[in-house]
Amino acid sequence: MLPTTDEAWSNSASSYNAIQRLPNGQWLAFVRGTNYATGLPTVGFATSDNGRNWDYSSANPVIASGKPWTVATNEYRPKFIGYLGENGTGEDEYLVAWSEHSNPYVIYSKTTDFVTFERDSRGYANWGDGEDGIVSAWREGDNLYLFSGKNVQVMELSVLPPPVIGDIFVGPGNDWNDDANWLNGTSPGNGATLTKFYVQNSSLVNYTSSQGVTRVQGEGSEFSVGRPGEGNGTMNITGGVLVVSSEQDAIIGAATESMGSVGNVMLSNDGVMVTSVPLLIGDQAAGTGNFHIYDNGQAIINDDLVLGSNGGTGNVLLYGNASLRTAGLVISDGWISFNSAGYPSLSVTGQDQAFFENLVANQLIRIDYSPVTEAFAERFRVDGDTLRLLIQGDVDGDGQVDDADAMILAANWQTLGSATLQMGDLNRDGNIDDIDATILAANWGVGVVAAVPEPSTWLLLGIGCLTLFARKTLRHNLLEEVAHGNHRI
């Protein structure tokens, strides 16, 4: 039934083979082939629709020397195959065990195609004594009985609950609490604990403060906005708290090698997103992810934030008073953009100014989507491990727009062509003039707890203005207006 082949890997003998039925109805043969020239066995697979006529995989031998999932040895022998169920992308996944060397050096792996395998990183299984031939597997309840020659091994299995599909948002509406928008017809409600939470089918879900605190956690838990083969997804978090403690990485814009998606998450209005696992923005080559944080939105990533993992593309946009803190930052393909109209911040645990300067120099941190052309110190300031845009009107870079900034601007009034930000050139045109004064007045009091200067400061500023601009009545009057802020405080 399983003859030798014309290919060298099994042209001498085909023996100790195992056959089982796959969930799709096909028969699968786990084949040990022997090379006539070397006399050494390797392992391959064959499939059949009727159990009589077999198609050998063109990739055979798939378990042999030189593969990424094997170690170099002279002998490879099949052991057993077990069905694990569907993985996170909906593919059938299998446990494949083979032996390297003999007696018994058994290694476990996972596969979805019987061509490539993910080797168990824990090393060889503890089998004790055993023969080098095929193993027959039989399951009863939580026990897997493995018969090998005269010996039987018993493996105790943990039984997982059936997959949860109730936490998949598909639309067509965007209301979290509308049962019709959920795949199983039931909304998880407010303050829910979810196992598998997906947003797909090109849908948009609005998550508001009324949802309270929602958690994604538990055995087998996953979080993904946008899923390969299931469509794009968008999540609009406008208040409330979302805590992701899933077993798998959290993903915005998930993909496989052949199927992609676009995932978007918008976080605003005091909404908070916290993850205890890596957050991948754009995963795999066909995955694109966008993470927008604005209007006091706050993201806390207690692991790595990865932009463009495994060939994907990911971007982060920070607007207004947005806050993003992460334990680590990896930018493989993408960038982080600060919006110049606001005062967002980016914190990376344990990093310093040199780290942020390098990201800016390599165009991985941008302003208004564009690479930064000015000197780092003219656009940013670093407080510990936190990067912030310089506040409009903050001449001295202390995070406040106050009388100290006005006095610097007054002292350098009408410097033309050579002015710098530190001198009061707030629009960066090389001049210090009424445009800069207008910018200062428009932002007066930002970052200041008590925004009205002391009277003594007003007096000093007034004297400075009179001294500098006695011959320039119009400009003097303008500075007086700015100094007094036209009461725009």
Per-residue pLDDT tens, the chain, 489 aa: give them: 677 888 888 888 888 777 888 877 888 888 888 888 988 888 999 999 888 888 898 999 999 988 999 988 888 888 888 887 777 677 888 889 888 875 568 889 999 999 999 999 888 887 655 565 667 777 777 777 877 777 787 877 665 444 444 488 999 999 999 999 998 888 988 888 888 899 999 999 999 988 889 999 887 889 999 998 888 999 999 999 999 999 899 999 998 877 889 999 999 999 999 999 999 999 998 899 999 999 889 999 999 999 999 999 999 999 888 999 999 999 999 999 999 877 889 999 999 999 999 999 999 999 999 999 988 987 888 889 999 888 888 888 777 888 888 999 899 999 999 998 889 888 888 999 989 888 888 888 877 765 445 434 443 344 344 434 433 443 445 445 544 544 343
Helices marked H in 279-394: 353-361, 376-379
* Cα torsion 468, 472, 475, 476: sign: positive
Question: Could you give the 3-state DSSP secondary structure of residue 63?
Answer: strand
**Residue 61, φ and ψ in degrees, nearest 5:** -80, 130
User: What are 467's two structure tokens?
Assistant: 């001294």
Q: What integer pLDDT is reported at residue 265 of this predicted model?
A: 97
* Bridge partners, residue 457, by sequence: none
Classify residue 158 by its DSSP letter: P
* Cα of 32 vs its chain's centroid, Å: 41
Which residue, among 194, 257, 266, 200, has the nearest Cα to 233 in the 3D structure? Answer: 200
DSSP 483: H
Taking the alpha carbons of 73, 76, 79, 82 in that order, is the dihedral positive or negative?
Answer: positive
Q: What is the pLDDT of residue 449?
A: 63
Among the listed residues 53, 36, 54, the one whose alpha carbon sits nearest the alpha carbon of residue 44:
54
DSSP three-state, residue 419: coil
Q: Which residues, other chains included, contact 354 with Cβ-Cβ below 8 Å and sequence gap of 6+? A: none
Please give the helix or strand (H or E) that residue 32 lies within, else none.
Answer: strand 27-34
Q: pTM of this prediction?
A: 0.57
> What per-residue confidence (pLDDT) applies to 450?
56
Give pLDDT, residue 174: 94
Amino acid at the residue 442: A
- Whole-angstrom CA distances from 72 to 41, 76, 101, 130 are 13, 10, 9, 21
**pLDDT for position 462:** 47
- Interstrand relation of 279-283 and 250-252 (parallel, antiparallel or unpaired): parallel
CA distance 140 to 143: 5
